Structure 1
Amino acid sequence: MMSGLPPQAAPSAPTGDLRMLGDLTNWVSEIVDGFGYAGVAFLVFLENVFPPIPSEVVLGLAGFTASRGEATLLGMLAASTAGSLAGAWLLYGVAAAIGPERVHRLVIRYGRWVRITSRDVTRAEEWFDRWSTVAVLVCRCVPLVRSLISVPAGFRRMPFVPFTLYTTLGSLVWNAIFVSAGYLLGEQWERVLAAADTYKYVTLAGLALVTLVGAVLFWRSRSKVVIEEA
């Protein structure tokens, strides 16, 4: 497999984040180098259940490896998507085992501290049941929530086949973007990291705005219901 990173692909710096990124990149490189497709699948699985691991490092390196002829592009896409699916299944299974009943019991017991009632949870569940397929598909392409969307899907025990289908499709889109970018950039694959940061900030800003608007609308509607019931 891969005979080491090009000099610019293992950034080093005397401080903090860059040094950590360089160490992480070297670690990812060693696993991809030693285990090939299985290594990529494992790393993507790990990234799904432990989101602080940046997927763009794993996927960019996977594409770079394919560009060197040491793996195929389709093979890296398949391996990374298999890892994504395995991680999603794990989170889904854990959440499904906990189940909505326990969530409601926790909210009934502790929800007053954050002003959330069992009825609020029911409304959120109804929303997710209505939009679950769209939510899973779209959120698989959104930083940070890519993995977390499997949790409400599990809590609501979304039908397993649709969950698997839309998780696969969303993961394939995300993985294809970064693996293909690493493949096309070759020795300059690390440019994927800068592009990923820009995309992350833009999407998170948009997500924050949507969340803020949604929260305002939610509390307004909730206040209206409380007044009508008074």
Structure 2
Amino acid sequence: MTEFILNLIAWGGYVGIFLLMVIENVFPPIPSEVIMGLGGMAVARGDMAMTPLLIIGTAGTTVGNVFWYAVGRWIGYQRLKPFVDRHGRWLTVHWEDVEKLHRFFVRHGLWVVFVFRFLPTFRTMISLPAGMAKMGLPRFLLATFLGSAIWNGVLAYAGLLLGSQFEELQDYVGPVAVAMTVGLVIGYLYRVVTWRPRA
């Protein structure tokens, strides 16, 4: 994966960064941590400048998230009810839970989107309920761009400061990510087994 990212950055420069960040948010398995970290390393080598890297990388993040926001708007909130009623056990939620989450999102959506930009995986997933709740597009874009700019800045400056050692972080990040994923799967299976429908 790192080789693919390096080749695309070498081929397209800032355009490569933009495309990678769009793709990363449409297909989350491509890690933004590596993309912006390698971008920071390019800044350290003098191949890029930090300001355009952050602006273009964050623009790519925002465009990628608009895709899932649009999907959420198209699906809509009420269309979920038959699906939740039928598959509540596997979703481990009741429709009343969905309604509560929807109301919370309508009230606090701007800050929810902003804060979730700092959380792995949820950075992209939060765009879907934002669309379903019909959050205003300007507010969504503002929260997404600002939150993503801060997070991308942290990653890019980490790449700048760590230099070539940034790539070695994958040796440690990989096992931690696997452990977290296993923990989430175990937690999900426990909820499925213990889930009981409400009267």
Would the aligned equivalents of 1:62 and 1:179 in 2 still touch at CA under 8 Å? yes
Q: Kindly tell me: are residues 110 and 185 of structure 1, through their superposed partners in 2, closer, same or farther at Cα, counting changes over 3 Å?
A: closer
Would the aligned equivalents of 2:84 and 2:91 in 1 still touch at CA under 8 Å? no
Would the aligned equivalents of 1:178 and 1:192 in 2 still touch at CA under 8 Å? no
User: Structure 2: which amino acid aligns with 1:179?
Assistant: A
Partners of 1:134 and 1:143 in 2: CA distance:
17
Gaps (5+ residues) in structure 2? none
Partners of 2:30 and 2:118 in 1: CA distance:
16
Would the aligned equivalents of 1:95 and 1:154 in 2 still touch at CA under 8 Å? yes
Root-mean-square deviation over aligned CA pairs = 2.9
Q: Kindly tell me: are residues 192 and 130 of structure 1, through their superposed partners in 2, closer, same or farther at Cα, counting changes over 3 Å?
A: farther
User: Which deviates more, 149-158 or 97-106?
Assistant: 97-106
Partners of 1:112 and 1:184 in 2: CA distance:
47
User: Structure 2: which amino acid aligns with 1:140?
Assistant: R
Partners of 1:197 and 1:85 in 2: CA distance:
26
Q: Kindly tell me: are residues 35 and 129 of structure 1, through their superposed partners in 2, closer, same or farther at Cα, counting changes over 3 Å?
A: same
**TM-superposed deviation, 1:125:** 0.6
Q: Kindly tell me: are residues 200 and 146 of structure 1, through their superposed partners in 2, closer, same or farther at Cα, counting changes over 3 Å?
A: farther
Pick from 56, 69, 74 the counterpart of residue 92 of structure 1.
69
- Equivalent residue number for residue 48 of structure 2: 71
Partners of 1:179 and 1:194 in 2: CA distance:
19
Partners of 2:99 and 2:74 in 1: CA distance:
18
Q: Which has the higher contact order (CA 8 A, sep 6+)?
A: 2
**TM-superposed deviation, 1:87:** 0.8
**TM-superposed deviation, 1:74:** 0.9
Partners of 1:83 and 1:32 in 2: CA distance:
14
Deviation readout 1:35-77 (Å, 9 max, x if unpaired): 0001001111111111111222111111111111111111111
User: Which deviates more, 187-196 or 130-139?
Assistant: 187-196
- Equivalent residue number for residue 121 of structure 1: 98
- Equivalent residue number for residue 137 of structure 1: 114
Q: How many residues end up aligned between the 2 structures?
A: 191
Q: Kindly tell me: are residues 174 and 194 of structure 1, through their superposed partners in 2, closer, same or farther at Cα, counting changes over 3 Å?
A: farther
Larger Rg: 1
Q: Kindly tell me: are residues 77 and 192 of structure 1, through their superposed partners in 2, closer, same or farther at Cα, counting changes over 3 Å?
A: farther
Would the aligned equivalents of 1:143 and 1:200 in 2 still touch at CA under 8 Å? no
Would the aligned equivalents of 2:28 and 2:124 in 1 still touch at CA under 8 Å? yes
- Equivalent residue number for residue 160 of structure 2: 183
Would the aligned equivalents of 2:110 and 2:139 in 1 still touch at CA under 8 Å? yes
Q: TM-score, normalised on structure 2? A: 0.82
- Equivalent residue number for residue 21 of structure 1: none
Does 1:80 find its partner at 2:49? no
Does 1:35 find its partner at 2:19? no
Q: Kindly tell me: are residues 30 and 149 of structure 1, through their superposed partners in 2, closer, same or farther at Cα, counting changes over 3 Å?
A: same
Would the aligned equivalents of 1:181 and 1:192 in 2 still touch at CA under 8 Å? no
Partners of 1:100 and 1:146 in 2: CA distance:
20
Q: Kindly tell me: are residues 146 and 196 of structure 1, through their superposed partners in 2, closer, same or farther at Cα, counting changes over 3 Å?
A: farther
Does 1:47 find its partner at 2:19? no
- Equivalent residue number for residue 148 of structure 2: 171
